[in-house]
């Protein structure tokens, strides 16, 4: 039984199924997601794990776990300032699909074209943007020294398009976590390739994640603040930009 082969096979099915069961138990017990969010996460997780690989699913779950930790950081202070995701910090199906739909589509595309190595790095870049943006929002919202990305003028913490030193550093850390997870997934499924190539592409995943976070801020300032886009729409477009940038990086 080959546990390292991508796509639908017995080994991948077993590990993905066990991982999904753990996701349901852990997210329900820790209130990471509400009931609709759990259902959405199972759907996205099955697509990512079975059509991509279980290591891809672990990368996505790392994003979920670290995002929950970031959300819970100084949660009472965020809640008092009306900057919390919900009353207890859990997330719903809209958030799951806003951050997970594009990675799931990438896994589907990799399966249909059998270009899993190519797809993995696009997948990593997309998740890296989601992680960078989440970290920037959750850690940066309590920084009082915030400036609007479009004007560089001081603005209120938590406003769409605002950025701070704390948020920018946090975004880099979020992107780095996903970059390392993506490298690990690549290394396990491509043992015959040069490690140097993987490290170079890991660096690209980190850089694209941070850049995607800035794109998210620009979209928030230009469109969300004017009511043209929702938060989920901004997230999805920023994540898509990360996928496109990585596609261009790999292609050219």
The 10s digit of each residue's pLDDT in 118-170 is: 999 999 999 999 999 999 999 988 888 889 999 989 988 878 888 899 999 99
pLDDT at 241 over 70: yes
Instruction: Evaluate whether residue 229 is within a structural domain.
Output: yes
Beta bridge partners of 163: 147
Q: Which residue segment(s) compose the domain that 24 sits in?
A: 10-251
> What tens digit of pLDDT does each residue of 43-81 get?
999 999 999 999 999 999 999 999 989 888 888 787 777
Q: What is the pLDDT of residues 160-198, one digit of tens each?
A: 888 899 999 999 999 999 999 999 999 998 877 788 889
Does 142 reside within a domain? yes
Q: What is the pTM of this model?
A: 0.93
Asked, for residue 136, whether it belongs to a domain, the answer is yes
CA nearest 140: which of 125, 162, 108, 121?
162
> Sign of dihedral through CA atoms 139, 152, 244, 195?
negative
The token duo for 96 is 């799951």
pLDDT of residue 84: 63
Q: How many domains does the chain have?
A: 1
| pLDDT at residue 87 greater than cutoff 60 | no
Q: What is the mean pLDDT of residues 192-220?
A: 93
Query: Can you tell me the mean pLDDT for 16-29?
Result: 91
Chain centroid, CA 198 distance in Å = 20
Q: Is 4 inside any structural domain?
A: no
Does residue 95 lie within any of the structural domains? Answer: yes
In a domain, 211, yes or no: yes
User: How far apart, in whole angstroms, are the C-alpha atoms of residue 65 and residue 27?
Assistant: 9
Euclidean distance between CA atoms 192 and 27, whole angstroms: 36
Residue 72 in any domain: the answer is yes
What distance in Å separates the CA atoms of residue 230 and residue 105, rounded to the nearest whole number? Answer: 21
- pLDDT at residue 76 in the model: 78
Q: Is the per-residue pLDDT at 223 higher than 70?
A: yes
Round to whole Å and give the CA distance between 138 and 81: 13
**Mean pLDDT over residues 27-36, rounded?**
85
CB neighbours of residue 233 within 10 Å: 14
CA nearest neighbour of 130 among 178, 75, 73, 69: 178
Closest CA to 91 of 49, 51, 130, 48: 130
Convert the chain into a string of H (helix), E (strand) and C (coil). Answer: CCCCCCCCCHHHHHHHHHHHHHHHHHHHHHCCECHHHHHHHHHHHHHHHHHHCHHHHHHHHHHHHHHHHHHHCCHHHHHHCCCCCCCCCCECHHHHHHHHHHHHHHHHHHHHHCCHHHHHHHHHHHHHHHHHHHHHHHHHCCCCCCEECCCCCECCCCCCCEECHHHHHHHHHHHHHHHHHHHHHHHHHCCCCCHHHHHHHHHHHHHHHHHHHHHHHHHHHHHHCCCCCCHHHHHHHHHHHHHHHHHHHHHC
Place of tokens 């990471």: 32
What is the predicted pLDDT for the residue at 245?
A: 97
Residue 2 in any domain: the answer is no
């Amino acid at each position: 039984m080959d546990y390292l082969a991508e796509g639908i096979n017995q080994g991948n099915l077993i590990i993905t199924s066990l991982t999904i069961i753990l996701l349901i138990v852990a997210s329900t017990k820790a209130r990471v997601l509400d009931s609709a969010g759990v259902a959405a996460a199972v759907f996205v997780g099955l697509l990512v794990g079975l059509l991509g690989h279980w290591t891809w699913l672990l990368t996505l779950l790392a994003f979920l776990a670290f995002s929950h930790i970031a959300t819970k950081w100084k949660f009472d202070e965020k809640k008092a300032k009306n900057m919390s995701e919900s009353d207890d910090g859990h997330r719903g199906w809209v958030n799951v699909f806003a951050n997970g739909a594009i990675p799931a589509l990438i896994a589907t595309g990799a399966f249909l074209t059998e270009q899993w190595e190519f797809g993995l790095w696009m997948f990593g870049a997309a998740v890296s943007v989601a992680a960078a943006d989440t970290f920037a929002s959750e850690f940066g919202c309590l920084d009082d020294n915030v400036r609007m990305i479009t004007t560089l003028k001081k603005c209120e913490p938590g406003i769409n398009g605002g950025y701070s030193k704390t948020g920018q550093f946090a975004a880099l850390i979020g992107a780095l976590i996903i970059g390392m997870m993506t490298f690990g997934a690549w290394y396990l499924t491509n043992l015959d390739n040069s490690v140097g190539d993987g490290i170079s592409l890991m660096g690209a995943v980190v850089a694209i994640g941070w850049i995607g976070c800035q794109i998210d801020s620009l979209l928030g300032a230009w469109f969300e603040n004017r009511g043209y886009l929702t938060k989920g729409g901004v997230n999805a477009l920023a994540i898509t930009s990360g996928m496109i940038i990585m596609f261009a990086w790999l292609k050219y």
